[in-house]
Amino acid sequence: MASTALPQNPVLRRNITADSSVSSAVVSPADSPAQSPSTTSLSSLGSVEEVKNSRGKLLDTYGNEFEIPDYTIKQIYDAIPKHCFERSAVRSLSYVARDLIVLGSVFYACHTYVTPEYIPSMPVRAVLWALYTVVQGLFATGIWVLAHECGHQAFSPSKVLNDTVGWVLHSALLVPYFSWKISHGKHHKATGHMTRDMVFIPKTREEYSSRVGRLAHELHELTEETPIATAIHMVSQQLGGWLMYLTTNVTGHNQHERQREGKGKGKKNGFWTGVNHFNPNSPLYERKDENLIILSDIGLAITLGVLTYIGKTYGFANLLVWYILPYLWVNHWLVAITFLQHTDPTLPHYDAATWNFTRGAAATIDREFGFIGRHILHGIIETHVLHHYISTIPFYNADEASEAIKPVMGKHYRADVKDGSIGFLKAMWTSARMCQWVEPSADAQGEGKGVMFFRNRNGLGVPPTKIEAASAKNNGVIVGADE
């Protein structure tokens, strides 16, 4: 649960202002649906309590009462000092140079000195090379984050420089830069939206129950998932989650029939369906983007060609240690970071009628990963809430900007910084055990039924809503096993 401890340094460590969420409606950017009636008339300003009551009692997974945010995106912008929006190409490039120098130096040191001539003990050499993969994986993740800055145009004022640096860095990490940039931008425009989010949509009660081959109304009776089953799921998620997302869009929306150019007709997420980040005809993209998808693929082809040459010249064993294992560490950190930015027992998700931009951006959480998070991963873990409101602010100004928006967000700002880096790792287990699917609160009414929270079959936190069998059948709420 969110920590309330005050940080020692208000710039380097942000104050935590809330344990849970609470509020009412919102004004959103132009791409958002129409705002709630509670923000559109003067008479509504005097009936906040009435609006709250009309939504029923909304409870997050911990049992904290939730209210929908009531501030506007303009208030967020106005609260941030103007200099926080300033981007420096020189400063950003210096971070790229620093990380590349570290990566090169660590490789040189290990390649030169972690050898039988200097270290006769094979077990010691194995440990040092294993440590090499961890360190390289962390700094390569830092490089990934800097390319992420490029994708959001937070790297510098020059779009050409941003996209050039981003394409080179991401391609070196086998990331299709423009393909990712486009889908990731759509994710930012629909964060927390149950049908439009392009990156992370949790399962509904019905979707989850279909996977275990049960009727939806029987979920409350299912036996607890064993810890070992949770652990196996986590390992598979950490190792393969990123590649599955790129190749099958596994956690993104599956509403491709709505693609306005018709590219999604008959297409669903999965292997061999064309819904991926490499196919120019994928419904994830418009026709105007297709050349950029091809350019992304060219970047990957160049990197794969270089890796093939290294493997043939120096052997697969060396390629495995030098590149593949650090690459898997990068994938692990990307999945862990993304999962924990959008998955927490305190976070809501919204249906199409209830969602708007300001609400969705608040449905994220900041965490703390200590020195590694702030200095190697460039603060991507610690300032994610701000990033979802204004993604063009460079990471080195994000702490100050985060502090500036917290008075506006008030109790709606979420952070879990308890126990620092250890707490970050513990949160992976907590979220895996507590956050299995989303559903409306049992006592939700009206607009409140469009606000969904995580529930689980492990007896943790607020129990799932009990659906009577007869009622469920009468309403057609029956979900069979996966096809």
CA R_g for the chain: 23
pLDDT beyond 90 at 352: yes
CA dihedral 148, 150, 151, 152 (to 10 degrees): 90
Question: Would you state the pLDDT for residue 44?
Answer: 46
pLDDT beyond 70 at 261: yes
Number of H helices, E strands in the chain: 18, 8
Question: Would you state the pLDDT for residue 478?
Answer: 36
pLDDT beyond 90 at 267: yes
Q: Between 475 and 211, where is the model more confident?
A: 211
C-alpha–C-alpha distance, residues 272 and 444, integer Å: 40
Mean of the per-residue pLDDT values for the chain? Answer: 87
In Å, how far are 135, 143, 285, 287, 422 from 294, measured between CA atoms?
Answer: 32, 22, 12, 12, 41
In Å, how far are 241, 310, 330, 372 from 134, measured between CA atoms?
Answer: 19, 21, 9, 12
Average pLDDT over residues 412-421: 94
pLDDT beyond 80 at 41: no
- Residue 72, strand partner residues: 27
DSSP string, 334-378: HHHHHHHHH--TT-EEE-TTT--HHHHHHS--EE--HHIIIIIST
Question: Would you state the pLDDT for residue 216?
Answer: 56
Question: Would you state the pLDDT for residue 39?
Answer: 40
Residue 195 exposure: Cα atoms within 13 Å on the Cβ side? 11
Question: Would you state the pLDDT for residue 227?
Answer: 87
Confidence of residue 474 (pLDDT cuts 50, 70, 90): very low
- The candidate with the shortest Cα–Cα distance to 197, out of 207, 208, 187, is 187
C-alpha–C-alpha distance, residues 327 and 336, integer Å: 14
Residue 471 dihedral angles phi and psi, to the nearest 5°:
-65, -40
Q: Between 115 and 7, where is the model more confident?
A: 115
Burial class (CB in 10 A: 0-12, 13-18, 19+), 46: exposed
H helix runs in 190-315, sequence order: 205-211, 227-248, 290-314
Question: Would you state the pLDDT for residue 363?
Answer: 97
Average pLDDT over residues 394-408: 98
Confidence of residue 223 (pLDDT cuts 50, 70, 90): low
Confidence of residue 208 (pLDDT cuts 50, 70, 90): confident
C-alpha angle 468-469-470 in degrees, rounded to nearest 5: 95
Beta carbons of 348 and 363 less than 8 angstroms apart:
yes
C-alpha–C-alpha distance, residues 382 and 111, integer Å: 34
Task: List, for residues 431-446, the tens digit of each pLDDT value.
Answer: 999 999 999 999 999 9
Instruction: Give the percent of the chain with pLDDT over 90.
Output: 78
Question: Would you state the pLDDT for residue 233?
Answer: 87
Domain boundaries, the chain: 47-455
Q: Which two tokens stand for residue 36?
A: 């709630």
pLDDT beyond 50 at 343: yes
Beta carbons of 163 and 150 less than 8 angstroms apart:
yes
Confidence of residue 214 (pLDDT cuts 50, 70, 90): low
In Å, how far are 224, 245, 322 from 147, measured between CA atoms?
Answer: 41, 18, 21
Question: Would you state the pLDDT for residue 72?
Answer: 96
pLDDT beyond 60 at 37: no
Task: List, for residues 157-191, the tens digit of each pLDDT value.
Answer: 999 999 999 999 999 999 999 999 999 999 999 99
Average pLDDT over residues 218-245: 82
- The one-character DSSP state at 259 is -
To 10 degrees, what angle do helices 159-172 and 122-151 make?
A: 150
Average pLDDT over residues 456-479: 65
List all residues 6 or more positions away from 278 whose beta carbon is below 8 Å from its beta carbon: 176, 179, 246, 247, 293, 296, 297, 300
Question: Would you state the pLDDT for residue 466?
Answer: 78
Beta carbons of 14 and 403 less than 8 angstroms apart:
yes
Question: Would you state the pLDDT for residue 36?
Answer: 40
CA dihedral 75, 77, 80, 84 (to 10 degrees): 170
